Structures are given as structure tokens and as C-alpha cells.
Amino acid sequence: MVVTATARSRQETGTAHSFDVEEVRRDFPGLHQEVHGHPLVYLDNAASAQKPQSVLDALLSIYRDDYANVHRGVHTLSQRATDRYEAARETCRRSLGASRHEECVFVRGATEGINLVAHSFARPRLQPGDEVLVTQMEHHSNLVPWQMVCRQAKAKLRWIPLLEDGSLDLDRYRSLLSERTKMIALVHISNALGTINPIREICRLAREKGVPVLVDGAQAAPHSKIDVEDLGCDFYVISGHKVFGPTGIGVLWGRHELLSAMPPYQGGGEMITNVTMESSDFHVPPHRFEAGTPHIAGAVGLAAALEYVSRVGWEAIAQHEHRLLTAATRRLAAIDGVELVGTAPDKAAVVSFTVQGVHPHDIGTILDHEGVAVRAGHHCAQPIADHYGVAATTRASFAFYNTLDEVERLGRGIETVLDMFGDPNP
Ligand code: PMP
């Protein structure tokens, strides 16, 4: 890969730059390849994003230069690895707007963070008849764990329904919130619809009733600056692989007083202060929740990713992605037979759609032959598909490295699909 002087300085020195999409693309080696003889158009970012060179460099360097197990060692390599691992936690703290680094627990991803809170925080507090409130637009990761703990505790799972455009019915939220509500868990940005939920307002209303809120930020972290204190939530989870970092690492942020009062989720090494044959004393957070050897390189790579995006600049990212969303929405909506699924006024750059008479898997396969990578299915949010009465949709999800030319390639790809399947309105 050719790294220009400006690109190198953005990757390494942290100086702010005006946004130039072609320059940014040079930082991502994975984008520069052909698929079926066409330049790759990668529009599956909501599933997993490509990685900038600075993340690949960080992974190589922790394994090559500073690799040993963390926390337990007195030798130099172990101390260097520990320093890099803990420095990564500090970067996560800064990136999430948290006040204490002890509030950032390294987990495998958003899924593990949510399960940890469901089982360690909510489960012991839930009594029969209590209610947990989720939404109809949750990823299965933020639905199934709550179904499980509600069943165990004989608590009731309730949900805020969707309006037709894919936003939440906030009047229903107000009426569902009651003394029985013991926990709210909801997504910040929907992976299937792109809807951005009004988290600040939802947390404000929850706080008036003293109800803790977990926010699933898996899709928000790649698109916007997160500030957990400003949002007013109690728990927030992100996944590294969606925010241009490695797979198998994520962060659970939780308020210190809540984490401190929670029992461990898993037992093992690293999470104890003293062990006898009969019992153990547990570490303080975050180590209490990080049993076993952690994903050291993952944490370091995630920190490199978070530093990278903050150097690109959230303002520039938001403006560019807004242009992409507007262009993609217009281009697809203008094609006869295409129906957009999810048209909330406040949306991230995610476009889900159906094409009359063509199964999304066929669309995905034909687009792949044109070099365009999209996702087809229910996007692990089956209740959303049920709400719209469809089995599946095709989803194009954008990142800041996508271009308006790529939007056009998507549009032309859909037209090719329609040509192959015939006119939907003969
Ligand atoms: N929540 C949302 C909104 C998601 O989009 C995803 C991943 N598609 C998850 C949770 C789960 O993330 P992970 O698989 O990284 O745990």
C-alpha cells in the first residue's frame, strides 16, 4: 500500500485534517482489491468494518515487540504488555467520555457485555412480576439475554413498539415506564433500520423513575462521538470489529458504583485477590469481570482504531456519511420496485430495502458478482422483519470511507438485478 505523507501523519501523529475520502481510503488496505473482476465496493460495514493500517500495525507490534501475558509478570515484556493493555483501557475511557478507566471492562464484544449486565446486574435484582423494557428494534444480542433472565426470574419482558417509519413510539415508552420497570435495554442505532434513538431523552425519563438503562452502542460507535455521561445511561457496550478495530474485543462501560456492587460474571484467574480451597475474594472492577487471559492484542488494536477515527474527526465523518445516506436514499427510492425499509427522520448511513419479486439473497449474490458487498437476511433482528411483514431485506451499510461513486455502483447493481428478473411492473 502507498501511504502518502498526509495519510501517514494522520495515522501516526494525530493532527487534524480536512476530510478527503480518497486520502482516507488509502489508510484501508482491504478496500483496494477486486472481487469478480470489479473494484470492491464494501457496503457491509454494519456487520464488520475494514481496518486501517494503523490498527494492523498496532496488532503486529504488540505481538512482535511487546508480547507476554499481562498483570502477572515481573519481567519487562510482561510489564510492557500490561502498560499497553492498560493504556488501551484509558483510550477507551476517553473515547466513551467516561470519567474513570475502571469503568471500562474489556469483553469479547457487545454481546458479551450485554450478557454480563443481564446476568450479573439484572438477574439478582429481578423479582417475579418485575418488568424489563426493551424495544422492537433490538438486535438479538440485546433481546435474547433479556428473555433468558426474565424467564429465570419470572419477570416480564415488555417492549417499545416501532412506528411505521422505523422510529420508536415514545408515547408508548412513557406509558410502559412504571414502578414495575426494573431495567431498560435499548439500541442506540438500529443495525437493520439505521434509526438513531433519542437516548438522552429516554435516559432522562428513566432516571426520573430510578430505572437503570443499558445502551447497545455497537452501531453508534462507528458513526458518532460517544459521551456516556452526556447520554445519561448506566451501561454502554461497543464492539471493536464494527469500529474499525479487531474482532473478539469490545468494551462494557458501567457506572462505577453499579459495577462495584455486581458479582463476577465468570470465575478464573486475574479476577481474584485471594483464593483458598473453600472460597475466593474478588478483585475490584474492571478486573473482577475479566477472568482469564484477556484479548491483549485486541484491546491494543481497538485503542488504535478509536484513536484513528478521532483523528479523522467526528464532524467530518458525520457530514460525509450524511451525504452518502442522502444520495443512497434518493438513488434507491427512484428505482421502480425498490422499497426502503426504515425511513426515520434521524438515521445513520444504513439503507435496508426490498426489491419486488426478488429474494434478498439473490440480490446479494448478483451484487457480489458486480463487486458490491451487501448483506441479505433479517440482520439478527427478526422482530423488525416481522413488523414489516418481510422475511428478509437487503442492507447497504456505509462507513466514512465509502464514496458517492460507490452509491452509484449500488444503484446500477440493483438495476442489473431488475434487468435479470424482469420488470416488476409490466
Ligand atoms: N447490537 C447491534 C446493534 C449489532 O449490530 C450487533 C452486531 N451486528 C451486536 C449488537 C452484536 O455485536 P457482536 O456480534 O460484536 O457482539
The pLDDT tens digits for 154-197 are 999 999 999 999 999 999 999 999 999 999 999 999 999 999 99
Q: For residue 160, with 0-12 CB atoms within 10 Å meaning exposed, 13-18 middle and 19 or more buried, which class applies? A: buried
Residue 91 has pLDDT above 80, yes or no: yes
Average pLDDT of the residues of the chain: 94
Residue 377 has pLDDT above 50, yes or no: yes
Residue 4 has pLDDT above 50, yes or no: no
- Residue with CA at minimum distance from ligand 1 atom 8: 47
Q: 50, 24 in Cβ contact below 8 A? A: no
CA distance 181 to 8: 51
Phi, psi (5° rounding) for residue 414?
Answer: -65, -35
CA distance 406 to 127: 52
Instruction: Tell me the domain boundaries of the chain.
Output: 11-51+313-421, 57-310
What is the mean pLDDT of the segment spanning 395-415? Answer: 98
Choice from 48, 115, 137, 191 to test ligand 1 binding pocket (greatest atom count within 8 A of CB): 191
Ligand 1 atom at minimal distance to the Cα of residue 379: 8
Report the top-level CATH class of 57-310: alpha beta
Asked if residue 110 has its Cβ within 6 Å of ligand 1, the reply is yes
Tens-place pLDDT, residues 13-38: 444 458 999 999 999 999 999 999 99
- Residue with CA at minimum distance from ligand 1 atom 7: 47
Choice from 111, 214, 244 to test ligand 1 binding pocket (greatest atom count within 8 A of CB): 111
Asked if residue 219 has its Cβ within 6 Å of ligand 1, the reply is yes
Ligand 1 atom at minimal distance to the Cα of residue 242: 15
CATH of domain 11-51+313-421: 3.90.1150.10
Asked if residue 216 has its Cβ within 6 Å of ligand 1, the reply is yes
104 is catalytic: no
Asked if residue 54 has its Cβ within 6 Å of ligand 1, the reply is no
What is the Å distance from ligand 1's center to 217 Cα?
9
pLDDT of residue 3: 35
What is the Å distance from ligand 1's center to 415 Cα?
30
CA distance 388 to 226: 30
* pTM, to two decimals: 0.95
Residue 11 has pLDDT above 60, yes or no: no
Position 426 confidence tier, pLDDT thresholds 50, 70, 90: low
- Residue with CA at minimum distance from ligand 1 atom 14: 111
Ligand 1 atom at minimal distance to the Cα of residue 188: 3
- Residue with CA at minimum distance from ligand 1 atom 12: 110
Residue 106 has pLDDT above 80, yes or no: yes
What is the Å distance from ligand 1's center to 132 Cα?
20
Tens-place pLDDT, residues 221-243: 999 999 999 999 999 999 999 99
Choice from 44, 196, 380, 395 to test ligand 1 binding pocket (greatest atom count within 8 A of CB): 380
Asked if residue 251 has its Cβ within 6 Å of ligand 1, the reply is no
Ligand 1 atom at minimal distance to the Cα of residue 113: 16
**Cα angle vertex 146, ends 143, 152, to 5°?**
145
pLDDT of residue 424: 54
Question: Comparing 11-51+313-421 with 57-310, is the CATH topology the same?
Answer: no
What is the mean pLDDT of the segment spanning 95-103? Answer: 98
Asked if residue 109 has its Cβ within 6 Å of ligand 1, the reply is yes
> Which of 394, 390, 385, 426 lies closest to 413, judged by CA?
394
